[in-house]
Amino acid sequence: MPCTWQKRPDAIPSAVSRKNTSTIIWQTASKGTMNCKLSKIFFVAGSIRTKVWICVLIALVGYFIATLSSFYSNSRQAERLATLQTIHFPLARLSDETVNTFKNQIAKYENAFLTGETDQAIEGNHLSATILQLLEQMKKVSDQNTIFSPEAALIDELQKQYNEFYQLAAEVYLRTQSIETSLELQQKVQHLGNMQTRLLNDFLDLSQHLAHSVEQHIQDERRHAQTNTLFLGLLFVLVLISATLISRCFANRQLIEPLTHIQEMVVRFTQTREILRPPQGNQDDEINNLAASFWSMTEELKQTMVSKSYVDNIIKHMSGCLMVLSSDRTLIKINNNAATLLGFSEEELLGCQIDEFISNDTITVFKNFGLNVLARGEEVNNLEICLMTRQRTKIPALFSGSVMRSPDREIEAIICVVNDITQRKKTEEMLRKVAVERALAKTASLAAIGELTSSIAHEMRNPLSSIKMNIQTIQQNLGSKDALFSELAEITCQQSLRLETMLNDLLSYGKPLQLNLSRSSFPELMQKTLVAIAQEKKNKGVILEINNSLGDDLPLVVDVELFIRAFTNLILNAIQWSPKEGTVQISARIAQSQDDQENQVVILVRDNGPGINPEKIGRLFQPFFTTREGGTGLGLANVRKIIEYHGGMVTGNNSPDGGAVFTIFLPLLPQQPAMRA
């Protein structure tokens, strides 16, 4: 008889338990959120941190419940999937293999019966072992879970039926080597066919049942996965809604209302500068402490704003131009005078590089002796530059700057002050014209004196030359015969030479100078001067110490020949007053004038001789004044004349370390860039 059975109910747990659990959680969350008694927890005295921790704890409890539900659901699903993978799938696969193998066996038996080939029957008989093995495996798989008891019983029944079929088939087909017509054999063949049909139908029914079971389980798992996802989503939403409602209830009473009060304080302060003192509250309440801190801050801010307004008013009314640079030389603050001078608005200037407003002819000087000096953290004082305005006009100005450092000694900002010296330049130009006019008048006077002096010197030079030649002739002829006469002749000759030198100095002093200006440098002038004084230096054994702080590239626009003459007179004067093997110091640097703060070249010639009589210092540069035996008194007068023709001045004083020091002050011309002293 064929085996029949009823389909068992689905073994997967129903969603009724989940629905009950969801209902319980929803009721619990709703009651915990909406119950006003629970909200009293958030309104007791205490710190915000404590209340926030309570909110966090409630949210964590809800999240823990949702996580446990998710974990339980996932574990159940994993168990069902394991059953599907270890039992349902193998049973379906083994059932299909059994059906296919049985069909193959039937085909071989039928071929053997029709053709009488024994080999086909033997091969079909061998397949019986495979089918029995497959049925045995299906039996073992179904025994792993009690819910597959119907399938296990069916497989046992199929094993018994197949054993009968296998034995009868072996008896019929192996003995049939030719067509037999006995009645017994025909009955066996008919019975074998019936068994074969029943077995095939049972195998097919089992295979279809297992395949349908696998498909049904897959669909059920898909539905359960969707249900679980929806359930967990709803659970998380409920937890989120509960936490949100609780947090909102807490925030309204403990955060929003106090913060609204603080906001009103801020708005009132910004509109009326009136500060409302907050009410006294619990010291553990951070909002109350925040309000008190804000009240203190606004008090300090009010004082700071008064100070800032005062400072801004000072900056606004400064006569100079104030510029504040960042560490990358970008303008971050300027006053109105700076914006007006450059012809831009404050918004247009902020964020620009200061280099953009320096003229091209002074940009190198500004970078080398301004920005680079400030980058080293040093100050810059009265550096003369030219600004470039919006209309591309140049404005002469004095630039000063200092560095503002942060507490960790990093450069935070650069404070710059620029003073417009256009009017001063015009005044200097006017004074220069007046000085030129005076110099021209003086030159005219000197020219008249020079003509008179030249005529007198010419009239005196011829008799003096005759006297000198006659004395030399007499000395040559009679000097060897009378020693006294020879000595008197020698004295007369020396005095004649002295008188001739005095005439030459007088001619030089009385003659107007014609400056032949050219670009030179201090090292070049000193080199030519050293050649002129080499013999005197060698005879006296004096050591020259030269200190040049001007650099080799600073140009000096002077009359080279006249300047060498002035240098020679000063250095020879220092050598003559120095002791043997003494030291003469020569130095050159840039310094600021005490009168108008202009940069100028300062050259010093210092000796270590006896110094100058203080009573005679005021007469040093007067013509024909000398304290040295054999001097004409016109050397220093010529030095002063040469220096003054170049727009400078020369002074002589005693050095604190001993000896005399002569100082030349020479103004820097516009072509000569200023250097920091």
Say if residue 622's pLDDT is above 90.
no
- What pLDDT score was predicted for residue 283? 60
pLDDT in tens, 429-464: 888 888 778 867 766 765 666 666 667 766 777 787
186 to 172, 179, 183, 190, 191: CA distances (angstroms): 10, 10, 5, 6, 9
Domains present along the chain, CATH in parentheses: 16-252 (no CATH), 318-420 (3.30.450.20), 422-512 (1.10.287), 514-677 (3.30.565.10)
Secondary-structure breakdown of the chain: helix, strand, coil percentages, each rounded to the nearest 5: 65, 15, 20
The lowest-confidence range among 202-211, 301-310, 416-425 is 301-310
Q: At a CB cut-off of 8 Å and minimum separation 6, what does 576 contact? A: 536, 540, 628
- What pLDDT score was predicted for residue 51? 65
Say if residue 57's pLDDT is above 50.
yes
- What pLDDT score was predicted for residue 595? 63
- What pLDDT score was predicted for residue 109? 78
3-state secondary structure at position 396:
strand
pLDDT in tens, 258-302: 677 777 777 777 767 666 666 665 566 666 677 677 777 777 776
- What pLDDT score was predicted for residue 511? 65
518 to 102, 268, 559: CA distances (angstroms): 125, 73, 6
- What pLDDT score was predicted for residue 396? 92
Helical pair 522-532 and 560-577, crossing angle rounded to 10 deg:
60
Q: Spell out the alpha helix ranges (H) of 351-421.
A: 360-366, 372-375
Phi, psi dihedrals of residue 222, rounded to the nearest 5°: -65, -45
For residue 466, give the amino acid letter: S
pLDDT band at 673 (very low <50, low <70, confident <90, very high): very low
Q: Rounded to a whole number, what is the distance in angstroms from the first to the last CA of the chain?
A: 127
Residue 151: HSE in the Cβ half-sphere, 13 Å Cα cutoff: 30
The percentage of residues in the chain with a pLDDT greater than 70, rounded to a whole number, is 75
Find out whether 38 and 226 touch, Cβ atoms under 8 Å: no
- Token pair belonging to 112: 């053997």
Higher pLDDT, 347 or 671: 347
- What pLDDT score was predicted for residue 226? 79
pLDDT in tens, 379-398: 999 899 999 999 989 999 99
Tell me what the pLDDT averaged over the chain comes to.
Answer: 76
3-state secondary structure at position 135:
helix
pLDDT in tens, 547-561: 988 877 788 888 888
Averaged pLDDT for residues 400-404: 90
Find out whether 373 and 675 touch, Cβ atoms under 8 Å: no
Q: At a CB cut-off of 8 Å and minimum separation 6, what does 268 contact? A: 274, 276
- What pLDDT score was predicted for residue 204? 85
Contacts from 440-445 at CB under 8 Å and sequence distance 24+? 443/512, 443/513
pLDDT band at 149 (very low <50, low <70, confident <90, very high): confident
- What pLDDT score was predicted for residue 28? 42
- What pLDDT score was predicted for residue 480? 65
CA distance 506 to 449: 10
Query: Which range among 42-56, 216-230, 263-277, 634-648 has the greatest average pLDDT?
Result: 634-648
CA distance 570 to 419: 38
Of the candidates 613, 624, 537, 520, the one whose C-alpha atom is nearest the C-alpha of residue 572 is: 537
Higher pLDDT, 462 or 648: 648
- What pLDDT score was predicted for residue 665? 92
Backbone dihedral region for residue 410 (phi beyond 0: left; psi -120 to 50: alpha; all else: beta): beta
- What pLDDT score was predicted for residue 590? 87
Q: Spell out the alpha helix ranges (H) of 143-182.
A: 149-175
Higher pLDDT, 231 or 393: 393
Contacts from 384-389 at CB under 8 Å and sequence distance 24+? 384/421, 384/598, 384/599, 384/674, 385/358, 385/359, 386/358, 386/359, 386/361, 386/362, 387/341, 387/342, 387/357, 387/358, 387/359, 387/418, 388/356, 388/357, 388/358, 388/359, 389/341, 389/342, 389/343, 389/357
pLDDT band at 7 (very low <50, low <70, confident <90, very high): very low
Per-residue buried b or exposed e for 251-260, using 16+ beta carbons within 10 Å of the residue's own CB: beebbeebee
- What pLDDT score was predicted for residue 97? 83
Phi, psi dihedrals of residue 4, rounded to the nearest 5°: -130, 155
pLDDT in tens, 90-145: 878 888 888 888 888 788 877 877 776 777 778 777 888 888 888 888 888 778 77
How many CB atoms are located within 10 Å of the residue 519 CB? 12
Find out whether 138 and 94 touch, Cβ atoms under 8 Å: yes
- What pLDDT score was predicted for residue 20? 42
For residue 225, give the amino acid letter: A
Tell the burial category of 12 from Cβ atoms under 10 Å away from its Cβ (0-12, 13-18, 19+).
middle
pLDDT in tens, 469-524: 777 777 777 656 677 777 777 777 777 776 776 676 666 666 667 788 888 888 99
Averaged pLDDT for residues 521-536: 87
Tell the burial category of 615 from Cβ atoms under 10 Å away from its Cβ (0-12, 13-18, 19+).
exposed
pLDDT in tens, 567-599: 888 998 889 888 888 899 999 998 877 665 677
- What pLDDT score was predicted for residue 424? 86
CA distance 534 to 523: 16
For residue 222, give the amino acid letter: R
pLDDT band at 4 (very low <50, low <70, confident <90, very high): very low
CA distance 357 to 237: 64
Higher pLDDT, 633 or 352: 352
